[in-house]
Structure 1
């Protein structure tokens, strides 16, 4: 017998990940509310139109503002589950700590049975050693986690690893989102394993988890086994699919770290994150312990996108 599906409030629904979560929530049959920030209509017609497209699909728009605590409380009271997908990347907008206001609203409302804060990348709880200035992303997420747990709000943290759109087209080259014109830079020997996930699958797994007792107060890791790949394997995959040879240029660890000195703040953050992923292997150098579960094992019915299929769109 199917359990009653939770009502879901999605904050940050017009963002890169948020829009996928909204669609997944609707597709999986949840009564779906999307927060519409009161300030939005003043400056961003594209986001307003996206919100209206969600409305046409069946979502309900809820107007509120982070500068108005009462409006947040009222929005939260409409739902059983709150999912936040506010941007945590500095080249868009770094709004992670705004979630502390959402935590306060959830605490006061008292009805929310699960909160999924904006995580979706590397597991912030494992990145206490991260390089500055990029560590701000992880430090802020840990600050939000601490507030959630101190408020005794039930939670699930989603660690989605590498969004395929940012990595697959350019074969993980730091400077490109599209296939190389002849050569690609390999980090170290190019053999460190990372994890790549289709963005739509991130939305699907996230919504699958919200009513699942197995994910309560745990981290949900998206580690689909076929998508645990090294950069060198991605290059070989591209060569096989395209029939083109790619020249590889190795970047020693010390040279990659030294490149940070000539970059602006945003570039330095990017280099730091790439270093942890492709030199340290921070996505794959640990076993999922008692505090975590793995999405593709919990939900084998999800036919996740393999990276060879994802790569074909670039050819």
Structure 2
């Protein structure tokens, strides 16, 4: 069976650039949307040109030009959107509603993967304000996809290693501490840490797989289900030193939200759900979902002790 042709929307972003690379590596004809809104962003333009050198095809389109999106979508079989949904960078989740309209009009798409890649929003109806806005908006996009009867796969990838493992899950740095570390509660709540390149590999694996059609792909490989303390221990073993551990109670953690700006409050709320509530691992994957490492055992996913070695 011929491999699907893929359009990546948001291909110059943090996850998007990895999706483009994985799509090319797995042999798909890969298009990347070149948005007029990039303007004078030289870094993004240069990245697009580097994709072109690797074999990707650039296609013009704009969210302010509906017909350009329809025309782009008509060239492919699968659309993957990776637009940012984190408030401290840029937050464009609801722009996808325009993409949904274009896909619906084009009528040829056999799979749409919207921009999720983190926590399953369908399990976050109880989330704290203001952080719940992320989950509410993703659910709004899901409803639009399903109302339009567009075939889909939702990808929930949990904690990006670059943001949550590299720093031992500290909030104000992206590098691992070498002296002391804040531990959330008792530090024993299980979360899931994933190398971003592995997320991309698993995502591309799904697009021609009937087992993931109209389902959620949960990227939750067993050896990457770790508590914060287990992650810290891996780092301590690598550096040959025990860190000073400062426990932060749930009450004090939530109190720290007071007076923070909006983006920081969103971040604190999400950390609470991950590291105190355990929302990433406190459920069984039901019939509506599949687990990535079970479906694709050929993907040699990165364990976190290996991932952390680059920071030595």
- Per the normalisation by structure 1, the TM-score is 0.98
Alignment of 1:159-198 (within 5 A): 159-198=156-195
Map of 2:109 onto structure 1: 112
Equivalent of 1:222 in 194, 219, 224: 219
| Deviations 1:124-174 (CA, angstroms, capped at 9, x unpaired) | 110011111111110000000000000000000000000000011211111
1:211 lines up with 2:202 in the alignment = no
1:87 lines up with 2:78 in the alignment = no
Alignment of 1:1-315 (within 5 A): 3-40=1-38, 42-315=39-312
Shift of 1:182: 1.1
How many residues align? The count is 312
Whole-angstrom CA distance in 1 between matches of 2:125 and 2:179: 37
Whole-angstrom CA distance in 2 between matches of 1:298 and 1:221: 10
Whole-angstrom CA distance in 2 between matches of 1:296 and 1:221: 9
Shift of 1:38: 1.2
The 8 Å contact of residues 88 and 264 in structure 2, kept in 1 or not, is answered as: no
| Deviations 1:271-292 (CA, angstroms, capped at 9, x unpaired) | 0000000000000000000000
- Per the normalisation by structure 2, the TM-score is 0.99
Whole-angstrom CA distance in 2 between matches of 1:179 and 1:302: 27
Unaligned 5+ residue runs, structure 2?
A: none
Unaligned 5+ residue runs, structure 1?
A: none
Whole-angstrom CA distance in 2 between matches of 1:25 and 1:179: 31
Structure 1 vs Structure 2 CA RMSD: 0.6
Whole-angstrom CA distance in 1 between matches of 2:117 and 2:214: 16
Whole-angstrom CA distance in 1 between matches of 2:10 and 2:166: 25
